[in-house]
Amino acid sequence: MGVKDITIATLVYKSPEYLDFVLDSLKRYGSLENRVQYLVIANDATDEIKDKVLALTARSDAPHTGVIHDNPDPDEWWIQRVYAAWNRCLEECETDYICFVNNDMAFTNGWLDALAKYDLTRYVPTSRLVESERMPSLPGLISKNFGQTLASFRNDEFQKFADSVKAQGFAAGVGAYMPSLFRVDVLKSVGGWHKNVGNIPGDRLTFSLLKKYMGIEQIMVMDSIAYHFQRGESAEVGDL
C-alpha cells in the first residue's frame, strides 16, 4: 500500500525501565518499509517520568515527541484515564497513520510492516500477541511465558518461537486491540478511543463503532508477532 509515515505511540506513568525497554525494542525491530517517529505520553506520571519523557525530544536517532498529560480527575478509574491519554496521542500525532503499543511489549522483525501492508480504510490490523500467562488471553492469542518481568524476559527464546508461529494472512474478529494501526482521520471520525461504558470495555466499543459506521473490520495479522508482559509496568511498580 506504499510507504507510510507512521507515529508509534505509547504511554508511561511510573517506570523508566519500561519506557527504555519498549523504545529499545521498537528500534531494534524497526520498519524497513515505512517512515517511523515516536510519541510518548507521560500519563499522570511521576516527576522522574515527566523529566525523562520531555528529554526524549533531544534524541537524534529518530524523531521523538514527549508530552505531559495530566488528567483533570486523577482519581478517575485508571482505565478511563488511559483512554484519555490514548486520545491525547491522537491529538498530538502529526502523521497520517498511528500505531498504538503498550509499553510492556516486545517486538519482532517485520511486525509493523506486516500491519502496514493492509488497506486501513477497510481494516484495523492488530498484531498476534504471545502473552506471559499472568492472566488469561483473548481468543486467537498465544499464552506462553517467556518472562513476566523485564529481568526475567528471554528475548532470544521468544524470537525463535515467534519465527516458528508466523504465518501468512490474517484472522478476523479475534485477538487483542494493541498493537493496532489506524489512519488518524478514520479513528477521529468515530470520536477516537471511547471509555468503558458499564461492562463494555472501551477498546471493544471503539472497534465496534468503526465496524458499524465505517465498515472497518478488526483483523489479527498472523506474521506480526509481539510479546505482552500483561500489566507489566503496573505489576513491577506495585500497582497491579
> pLDDT tens digits for 104-132?
999 999 999 999 999 999 999 999 999 99
Q: pLDDT value at position 57?
A: 79
CATH number reported for the structural domain that contains residue 60 in this entry: 3.90.550.10
d(Cα 15, Cα 62) in Å, to the nearest integer? 22
Rounded to an integer, the average pLDDT of 142-157 is 97
The answer to whether residue 31 is domain-embedded is yes
Q: pLDDT value at position 232?
A: 66
Q: What percent of the chain has pLDDT over 70?
A: 97
Round the average pLDDT of the chain to a whole number and report it: 94
Q: pLDDT value at position 109?
A: 98
The answer to whether residue 67 is domain-embedded is yes
Helix (H) or strand (E) holding 136: none
The answer to whether residue 239 is domain-embedded is no
d(Cα 127, Cα 107) in Å, to the nearest integer? 10
Omega of the bond prior to 179 within 30 degrees of 0, cis? Answer: yes
d(Cα 226, Cα 105) in Å, to the nearest integer? 7
pTM: 0.95
The answer to whether residue 21 is domain-embedded is yes
The answer to whether residue 49 is domain-embedded is yes
Give the least confident one: 134-138, 178-182, 205-209.
134-138
Q: pLDDT value at position 13?
A: 93
Domain of residue 45 covers 5-231
d(Cα 46, Cα 38) in Å, to the nearest integer? 20
The answer to whether residue 87 is domain-embedded is yes
The answer to whether residue 238 is domain-embedded is no
Phi-psi region of 192 (alpha: psi -120 to 50; beta: other; left: phi over 0): left
Provide the grid cell at 83. Answer: 483512554
The answer to whether residue 126 is domain-embedded is yes
Q: pLDDT value at position 2?
A: 82
Q: pLDDT value at position 231?
A: 80
- Name residue 9's beta-bridge partners: 39, 100
pLDDT at 218 over 90: yes
> pLDDT tens digits for 36-49?
999 999 999 999 99
Provide the grid cell at 129. Answer: 500477541
Instruction: Give the chain's domain count.
Output: 1
Helix (H) or strand (E) holding 42: strand 35-43
Rounded to an integer, the average pLDDT of 161-179 is 96
> pLDDT tens digits for 39-86?
999 999 999 999 999 998 777 677 899 999 999 998 999 999 999 999
Q: pLDDT value at position 188?
A: 98
